[in-house]
């Protein structure tokens, strides 16, 4: 009996104590690795930008085959792209629209927002027998509607974009001419923001220094009534 008691005391004093120490150390290690895991997850979440899904639809014109992307909203667009779209649409409207009373102002804005060779092409057309002033005079106008803008290349505040437009001939009262159907065109525009102001006041009209380096127009075949 005495031997049993001594054995029990030895177990309690040595083996049981060792097991308790091991259990205590295991708990400490578990707590340490738990904190370390939490900190790792927090670090990853801090370094990973939040991403959102923007819904878009690829639209194909049944007549011309032209494709573009229609977005559910513009929240996913960076401010620089919105800025580019504004200046592209503004330039194309100035260049392709016509109203006798505002023709000189539109002519001046195209000159201000174009580089030399690009403006020379526009000026030669407008001063020719095919120019808007010669053909449309005071009795007709041209309304230019922007359908969409697709970027072919865009980097470091310069690029090339396709601006799809519909041009409608109006009478002097602003009503569509029933004899001339609206026509859809695609303007391919190469641009940058290095077009410095040439005289005082230009920066108020073109504060970003937007400049068009190349401009071509292609008519969409098979498209009528602006569709």
Task: Based on the fold, state whether residues 147 and 193 are members of the same structural domain.
Answer: yes
Task: Based on the fold, state whether residues 205 and 118 are members of the same structural domain.
Answer: yes
Task: Based on the fold, state whether residues 139 and 193 are members of the same structural domain.
Answer: yes
> Is residue 67 assigned to a domain?
yes
pLDDT digits (tens, 9 = 90+) for 33-86: 565 565 665 555 555 554 455 555 555 655 555 565 655 555 678 999 999 999
pLDDT digits (tens, 9 = 90+) for 173-205: 999 999 999 999 999 999 999 999 999 899 999
Task: Based on the fold, state whether residues 97 and 1 are members of the same structural domain.
Answer: no
Q: Which residues of 26-42 are buried (b: 16+ CB within 10 A; e: fewer)?
A: eeeeeeeeeeeeeeeee
Q: How confident is the model at residue 6 (pLDDT cuts 50, 70, 90)?
A: low
Residue with tokens 């077009």: 195
Cα angle value 156/160/163 (rounded, 5°): 130
Total of domains in the chain: 2
Task: Based on the fold, state whether residues 104 and 214 are members of the same structural domain.
Answer: yes
Segments forming the whole domain that contains residue 22: 1-51
> Is residue 225 assigned to a domain?
no
Task: Based on the fold, state whether residues 34 and 95 are members of the same structural domain.
Answer: no
> Is residue 143 assigned to a domain?
yes
Task: Based on the fold, state whether residues 140 and 112 are members of the same structural domain.
Answer: yes
Give the dihedral of Cα atoms 146, 116, 219, 143; nearest 10 deg: 40
Q: How confident is the model at residue 17 (pLDDT cuts 50, 70, 90)?
A: low
Q: How confident is the model at residue 226 (pLDDT cuts 50, 70, 90)?
A: very low
């Amino acid at each position: 009996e005495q031997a049993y008691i001594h054995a029990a005391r030895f177990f309690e004093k040595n083996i049981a104590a060792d097991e308790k120490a091991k259990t205590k150390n295991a708990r400490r290690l578990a707590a340490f690795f738990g904190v370390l895991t939490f900190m790792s997850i927090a670090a990853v979440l801090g370094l990973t930008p939040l991403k959102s899904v923007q819904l878009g639809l690829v639209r194909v014109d049944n007549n011309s085959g032209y494709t573009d992307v229609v977005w559910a909203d513009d929240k996913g667009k960076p401010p620089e792209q919105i800025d580019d779209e504004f200046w592209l649409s503004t330039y194309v409207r100035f260049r392709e629209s016509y109203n006798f009373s505002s023709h000189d102002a539109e002519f001046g804005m195209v000159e201000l927002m174009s580089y030399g060779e690009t403006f020379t092409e526009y000026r030669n057309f407008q001063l020719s027998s095919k120019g808007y002033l010669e053909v449309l005079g005071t009795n007709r106008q041209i309304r230019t509607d922007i359908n969409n803008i697709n970027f072919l290349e865009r980097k470091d505040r310069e690029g090339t974009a396709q601006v799809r437009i519909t041009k409608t001939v109006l009478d002097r009262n602003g009503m569509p001419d029933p004899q001339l159907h609206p026509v859809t065109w695609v303007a391919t525009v190469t641009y940058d923001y290095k077009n410095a102001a040439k005289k005082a006041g230009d920066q108020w009209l073109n504060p970003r220094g937007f400049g068009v380096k190349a401009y071509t127009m292609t008519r969409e075949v098979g498209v009528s009534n602006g569709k």
